[in-house]
Structure 1
Amino acid sequence: MHHLDITGEYIVLNDKKMLNNIGVQVVIAMIIGTIVGIIMGHDAVMFAPLGSLFIHLIKMLVIPLVAVAIISGAASLGNSHAAGKIGVTTLAFFGITSAFAVTLALMMGIIFQPGVGVDLSGVAGMFANTYADKGSLPTFWATILGMIPTNIFHSLNEANILQILVFCLFFGIALSKLEVERRQPLINGINAIVDAMVWMINVVMKFAPIGVFGLMADAIGSFGFSALTVVLKLFVVYVAAILIYGFIGYPIMIKLFSKTSPRKFLSAMKKPQAVALSTASSMATLPVTMETCEEELGVKNSTASFVLPLGATINMSGNAIYYGLVAIFFAQIFNIELGMSAYIAIIVTSTIGAIGQAGVPGPSFLVVAVLLSAGIPIEGLPLLFALDRIFDMIRTALNITGDAACAVIIDSIYDNQEQPIAVQS
């Protein structure tokens, strides 16, 4: 008996040489894009459409892929006694690791003080207070009601990830409750759609280096290193926190809670991390993450197709680190003493905000809510939004590492539970 790999034949991605080449090409494209941005300055904006084209191609495919992958995963797990436990454990893992991530960020910010002694004279013109209306976090009931779609087609049209997630989980579980002869043809059809979507994403990924070149040239050319030098210390501390959590934190969890070797885990994650860096999107990286977890880390298809789309939607430890460090950064710039209540507010708001952040690239306005929760001025945020693409690429690599770590751990914990239904081939 063989569980069908819903993530398809991987015409491009199963070719190890091709994947390695894509990773190398992406790094070269980032370097060339940075150099072109420095040399051409604002004229480098002419390359922006290359990046926009790449991101648009990804966004075109991501929502339908996520929808059908979640239905398939939920249908596979639905008849297992462990299904409820897997769901609860997955959510608990994402919430706890996000809280740990922002706590690490606060500690790093307090120790290394990235906002102390920063000279803002050269970038004062970038300060604005136009984001104050974007900082409100919804109430508990507003959040719950906001997750439930009143029209799933409208949710799909608006790319409301959480509403799509709720409906597809519910629909997938409902499928699993039908008689085998009725559900199996439909599950086979859904898996075929996933295979086709993955093939399309694999083709789009061939254009990743061109897109990355355009994105980097535009980002560096538009804002230059003058903006980066102002936040250089923040950037260095941020990268250090990401590396600590990604290369020490998650491997320790893998060692403690799974049967997988941390060294094997880190080695396997090089491929999805390269794609995450290039796309700055957990969703776009999802097919590669699934392929890596199933083929190289031995995660069951039913677990991977449930945990990983869920993680790509709500697991954002990298974002949590970003929120925490930015809060400390601006508090230090404006000489604001933060008390314990402010730190708790930052941790809670960052964790909730990280879970609510959709897994697609773009400026994260949830950082506004984090700053407002601790009474920190938000005028300096345009300075960071200008560089958000660079921050986003790095935090996405950590986010998908956390998704994979969760899948490996969940698969190990529930390995001896009743086998869920699966499509046979």
Structure 2
Amino acid sequence: MNQYQSLLARVASSSLVLQILAGIILGIILATASTSAAIHVSFLGSLFVKALKAVAPILVFVLVASSIANQKKNTQTNIRPIIGLYLLGTLAAALTAVVFSFAFPTTLLLAGSIEESNPPQGIVEVLNTLLFKIVDNPINALLTGNYISILAWAVGLGVTLHHADASTKKVLSDLTNSVTKIVRFVIRFAPIGIFGLVAGTIAATGFEALASYAQLLSVLVAAMLFIALVVNPIIAYLKIRRNPYPLVLKCLRESGLTAFFTRSSAANIPVNMALCEELKLHKDTYSVSIPLGATINMGGAAITITVLTLATANTLGIQVDFLTAILLSVVSAVSACGASGVAGGSLLLIPLACSLFGISNDVAMQVVAVGFVIGVIQDSAETALNSSTDVVFTAVACEAAKTKVDC
């Protein structure tokens, strides 16, 4: 018994990443041994993701507002270069997807369809939706997880409170610290939550449904890995002029791993905040850049949109020249910035990209159906790339500001 308790104590005091890995392994073992038992424990995963989604909007709102309200004059927050990195990374991801799609042409088996879906009909509609999200009621924005509006209201409140009394700012700061402690408490349950997510996902879907889409998944995942392990490190090196891989791998391990299983950039915001704090980044910077990145830094989404659109064109025998593919990558990058921070948020933007080639909405929605079939891997990898890149680019911008390299 003492040895058993000692083992549990060592596990509890070990790295959170190691605990998460243990949860993954145990989830796989349980799903393999007993499907019914795995389905029964899947509620643990749903509960964990629900808790993250519950605390994330409040955390973003109070943290951004407090950071701006308590910001000292002439403080450098480096938000502008971070936004530049976000946009550059998303465009680079779309271009990479074009290259991979041309190098490894893929065809799809189009059969099913998705009902009651309402994809946007053009870039104007995407931008129009974003504009109206900004002016959403703040209470409704917090209830629905509308991070565009949450950011807008938090920035507005922070700016107006910047000239408030010190006591008012102190209350806001104390509120932020309290919410942050709640977030840390929730994150400590990540191993249990991910155990439930893994067990439930494998029990419900298995891997058979993915076998017929092996090549498509290979192209998608390969493009995302190329961005994560090659393109992002190159961008980081050009900014900080030193080996970027320790930072990149740490972000993939501690942010990408949880994002892979939560499948929600929004839900992973508290995890990224905690990682930025661990990296000792400027709080005034990451309190804004992380929630902003969960909204506009969507390299994984750009890859998904581009690869699936070109696969559809190839399936239908549509010849796509390279210049048109470049245009597609730009459209995909812009559209990806409007993808929601929830699981599957990029898939309904595929019909928009397909419309560039005159592909009917009926066919495009069948492609969306394919996206949902492979979503157990595709969306997980996409979210892991998006979320981990938020921290990489934030850290790179902060480091560049300290060393005054290209900043």
> If the TM-score is normalised by the length of the shorter chain, which range does it land in?
0.7 to 0.9
- C-alpha distance in structure 1 between counterparts of 2:311 and 2:28, whole Å: 25
**Deviations for 1:118-163, whole angstroms, at most 9, x for unmatched residues?**
6x4xx84xx1153663232462762463143252222222221111
The residue that corresponds to 1:356 in the other structure is: 338
CA apart distance, 1:44: 5.4
Aligned length: 388
**Deviations for 1:355-408, whole angstroms, at most 9, x for unmatched residues?**
122333345322333333443432132232133243222222211232122212
The residue that corresponds to 1:218 in the other structure is: 200
Which is worse superposed, 31-40 or 404-413? Answer: 31-40
8 Å CA contact retained: 1:51, 1:213: yes
- C-alpha distance in structure 2 between counterparts of 1:209 and 1:81, whole Å: 38
The residue that corresponds to 1:371 in the other structure is: 354
- C-alpha distance in structure 2 between counterparts of 1:41 and 1:399, whole Å: 31
Confirm whether residue 271 of structure 1 aligns to residue 254 of structure 2. Answer: yes
8 Å CA contact retained: 2:255, 2:387: yes
- C-alpha distance in structure 2 between counterparts of 1:43 and 1:399, whole Å: 32
- C-alpha distance in structure 2 between counterparts of 1:332 and 1:36, whole Å: 40
CA apart distance, 1:204: 2.2
1:23-422 matched pairs, under 5 angstroms: 23-34=17-28, 36-37=30-31, 45-76=39-70, 79-80=73-74, 86-113=78-105, 115-116=106-107, 120=109, 124=111, 127-130=112-115, 133-137=118-122, 139=124, 142-143=128-129, 145-176=131-162, 178=163, 182=165, 184-258=166-240, 261-269=243-251, 270-296=253-279, 298-340=280-322, 342-364=324-346, 365-376=348-359, 377-378=363-364, 379-415=366-402
**Deviations for 1:254-290, whole angstroms, at most 9, x for unmatched residues?**
2111266413313432222222223223333333323
- C-alpha distance in structure 2 between counterparts of 1:34 and 1:381, whole Å: 28
- C-alpha distance in structure 1 between counterparts of 2:52 and 2:182, whole Å: 9
- C-alpha distance in structure 2 between counterparts of 1:132 and 1:158, whole Å: 19
8 Å CA contact retained: 1:277, 1:396: yes
Letter in 2 for 1:63: P
Letter in 1 for 2:396: I
CA RMSD of aligned residues (A): 3.1
Letter in 2 for 1:396: T
Q: Structure 1's 224 and 333: CA in aligned 2 closer, same or farther, altered over 3 A?
A: farther
Taking only the aligned residue pairs, the percentage that are identical comes to 26
Letter in 2 for 1:206: R
- C-alpha distance in structure 1 between counterparts of 2:24 and 2:214, whole Å: 18
CA apart distance, 1:229: 0.7
CA apart distance, 1:344: 4.0
Q: Structure 1's 245 and 151: CA in aligned 2 closer, same or farther, altered over 3 A?
A: same
8 Å CA contact retained: 1:73, 1:304: no
- C-alpha distance in structure 1 between counterparts of 2:196 and 2:327, whole Å: 38
Q: Structure 1's 383 and 108: CA in aligned 2 closer, same or farther, altered over 3 A?
A: same
Letter in 2 for 1:295: E
Q: TM-score, normalised by structure 2?
A: 0.83
Match of 2:281, SS? coil
8 Å CA contact retained: 2:94, 2:303: yes
Q: Structure 1's 156 and 255: CA in aligned 2 closer, same or farther, altered over 3 A?
A: same
- C-alpha distance in structure 1 between counterparts of 2:87 and 2:161, whole Å: 28
Q: Structure 1's 243 and 18: CA in aligned 2 closer, same or farther, altered over 3 A?
A: farther
- C-alpha distance in structure 2 between counterparts of 1:349 and 1:175, whole Å: 38
- Structure 2: segments with no counterpart, 5+ residues: 1-9
Q: Structure 1's 239 and 287: CA in aligned 2 closer, same or farther, altered over 3 A?
A: same
Match of 1:346, SS? helix
Letter in 2 for 1:401: S
Q: Structure 1's 40 and 165: CA in aligned 2 closer, same or farther, altered over 3 A?
A: same
- Structure 1: segments with no counterpart, 5+ residues: 1-15, 418-425
Match of 1:356, SS? coil
- C-alpha distance in structure 2 between counterparts of 1:35 and 1:370, whole Å: 40
Q: Structure 1's 43 and 18: CA in aligned 2 closer, same or farther, altered over 3 A?
A: closer
